[in-house]
Structure 1
Amino acid sequence: MMTVQQAKNADFWRGLNPDLHIDGTSEGACATGASRGLDIAGTGGDGVGFGVESATKPNLMREDVDYSQLSDRFWDEGYFLLHDVLPVAVLGQLRAAIERLVAARLPVAMIYLYDEAWQVFAALRPLLSHFLGDKIALLPHFWAWYVDPAQQGRGWPPHRDYQGQSAIDDDMLISLSLWVPLSDAIPENGCMYVLPRSFERCYDFPVTKPQDVALQDARALPARPGAVMGWRQDVYHWGSRASRFATSPRISLSLEFQNAAFDPLGDPLLDLERPPCFHDRLTLIAGQFEKYRHMQDMDEDVLVWSKEILSS
């Protein structure tokens, strides 16, 4: 396991994944101090982002998305799945980086130290704006998965991302989760499942535990690299368990967003186009381990390490 001193050294991470970037360029450093998050007025002027603007920031998202059809399904069933909207080559870089993290026995959530992980979601602004409006806040809630078939790994158990109100009158969205596969995500290696809202509305009681879900109502959502999946944060969903006969792991990323016109659902709210600088990213990542330990097993060494980062 790495030391805290190594974790705080951006060059350690650049050396591990030299084809990725931190703070805009491979040489960039956080020169501006702690991030103050998002300027809710929409200017972004108080936010602290890349130390150096990346000259190679990709324009990733496919432009010919049928938002009308997408909205019809989203407001009826609570989720969407778009195929072939992100370039596989860019996602392949992130997959390779996560595989290096796994090989080095490092937590896969450390992928969020790199600019490219944030840029994938920033490139989805047209999609986010369609559902959340022009004032978009990035919530400090994110994770990455490497579901290992050899260990019969699993995704997160059935849950809702947010227990409060996620939309107003089924026509104004407050918050949204996005999920991006970096490898094939299929039933054999632990793809996502949802309980569509159109089914849940027919129940005589609110679903509060897995036993409440009629098995025939569970919907598998297989997806391949290039896809993006999104759901209202009140949608009941889960990641399944991988078969030991699966031929590849399920590798994926997720981030959460809100309409910044509403009261903050997390602290600090972040600027989509200006992600935190290196040291703030490290602190944010450390905070995820304690936050999500109830969702999956955490190595005790990682919890000790993350607490030391947060207290330093």
Structure 2
Amino acid sequence: MMTALQACQRESWLSINPQLTISTDEARISDVPPVGADCDGFEGSTHSDRFWQDGYFLIDDLLPVDGLNDLRAGLEELVTNGLPPAMIYLYDEAWQVFMRLRPLLNHFLGDRVKLLPHFWAWHVNPAEDGRGWPPHRDYQGESVIDDDMLISLSLWVPLSVASPDNGCMYVLPYSFEKCYPRPVAKPEDVVLQDVRALPARPGSVMGWRQDLYHWGGRASAFATEPRISLSLEFQNAAFDPLADRLLDLDRPPVFRERLELIVQQFEKYRHMQSMDDRTLKWAKDILGNCREM
């Protein structure tokens, strides 16, 4: 793993993944064409019924796979170098994935979409008894008003095939949970036959209301590839902020801001993601260096 001081240098990361880019303060991320801009890629109304009934959507073949291949290679290179997968958000291409999804976000959240500073990346490795996050809700408060007005939304993008063998996503559909005598508080409250596995392939996009009960599976030793994926959260800025700081989808943070945001996620998600003390100290040291510079 590179030192905390090396991690504060943009060139360190570009040397690991020269096929990817990192914008400087003077050169912001260039515009990328949104999916569905020509009305061929995304038609929100066809996915609304499932979302409002079951609390999620899964849209196939929405993102261009060619661009995702470079991002997957970049994330795998980070892992090969002993670096956390979440560091992929240092690269422009990770943010551009979600910038392309503005038509989808506008459909579900309206015109005033902001990024929540909550994000993660996964490399669920079958060879290491890998597993996704345990059952949880992304937000414990109010995510939807009257079941027809969305406050916040989570998006999840696979960079490899996600299957039951390598730990795909699982959800408790909202239409089932709302028939329970009380909201699910722990995994034992879930009726197992109500659980829905959501296999997905690169180019797909999955989204869910932030109060949806969901989790990532445990990878089988018979899986043929790791489950590699990205997630980012959004909110309708017409409502009160759900975080201390909201980010602009069209002007994501640049290198130093990104680095600080990323390492802040480590402490935030240590209860969800297994992290050793060395990695946590590394993240803390990076944060300290960022604030001194």
TM range, smaller chain: over 0.9
Q: Which amino acid aligns with 1:222?
A: P
Among 180, 188, 204, the residue aligned to 2:157: 180
Spell out, residue by residue over 1:37-84, the C-alpha distance to the aligned partner (whole angstroms, 9 max, x if none): xxxxxxxxxxxxxx31455x4325244333222111101100000000
Helix, strand or coil at the partner of 1:188: coil
Q: State the shift of 1:296 in Å.
A: 1.6
Whole-Å separation in 2 of the counterparts to 1:73 and 1:98: 31
Q: Which amino acid aligns with 2:13?
A: W
Whole-Å separation in 2 of the counterparts to 1:82 and 1:284: 29
1:123 is aligned to 2:100: yes
Q: State the shift of 1:105 in Å.
A: 0.5
Whole-Å separation in 1 of the counterparts to 2:259 and 2:45: 39
Helix, strand or coil at the partner of 1:138: strand
Q: Which amino acid aligns with 2:263?
A: A
| 1:111-260 matched pairs, under 5 angstroms | 111-260=88-237
Whole-Å separation in 2 of the counterparts to 1:78 and 1:174: 13
Q: Which amino acid aligns with 1:9?
A: Q
Alignment gaps of 5+ in structure 1: 24-28, 31-50
Q: Which amino acid aligns with 1:3?
A: T
Aligned residue number for residue 108 of structure 1:
85
Q: State the shift of 1:215 in Å.
A: 0.5
Whole-Å separation in 2 of the counterparts to 1:84 and 1:299: 36
1:61 is aligned to 2:38: no
Whole-Å separation in 1 of the counterparts to 2:82 and 2:45: 44
Whole-Å separation in 2 of the counterparts to 1:246 and 1:294: 26
2:29·2:252 contact (CA, 8 Å) conserved in 1?
no
User: Sequence identity of aligned pairs in percent?
Assistant: 67
Aligned residue number for residue 8 of structure 2:
8
Aligned residue number for residue 93 of structure 1:
70
2:125·2:226 contact (CA, 8 Å) conserved in 1?
yes
1:52 is aligned to 2:27: yes
Aligned residue pairs total 286
Aligned residue number for residue 22 of structure 1:
22
Among 238, 257, 281, the residue aligned to 1:304: 281
1:85·1:227 contact (CA, 8 Å) conserved in 2?
yes
Helix, strand or coil at the partner of 2:165: helix
Whole-Å separation in 1 of the counterparts to 2:264 and 2:231: 16
Spell out, residue by residue over 1:104-149, the C-alpha distance to the aligned partner (whole angstroms, 9 max, x if none): 0100100000000001001100000001110111000000000001
1:60·1:87 contact (CA, 8 Å) conserved in 2?
no
Normalising by structure 2, report the TM-score: 0.95
Alignment gaps of 5+ in structure 2: none
Q: State the shift of 1:311 in Å.
A: 2.8
Q: State the shift of 1:223 in Å.
A: 0.2
Q: State the shift of 1:267 in Å.
A: 2.2
Whole-Å separation in 2 of the counterparts to 1:105 and 1:194: 31
1:60·1:120 contact (CA, 8 Å) conserved in 2?
no
Normalising by structure 1, report the TM-score: 0.90
Q: Which amino acid aligns with 2:112?
A: K
1:60·1:86 contact (CA, 8 Å) conserved in 2?
no
* RMSD of aligned residue pairs (Cα, Å): 1.1
Whole-Å separation in 2 of the counterparts to 1:95 and 1:166: 31
Whole-Å separation in 2 of the counterparts to 1:54 and 1:270: 14
2:34·2:103 contact (CA, 8 Å) conserved in 1?
no
2:158·2:202 contact (CA, 8 Å) conserved in 1?
yes
1:108·1:144 contact (CA, 8 Å) conserved in 2?
yes
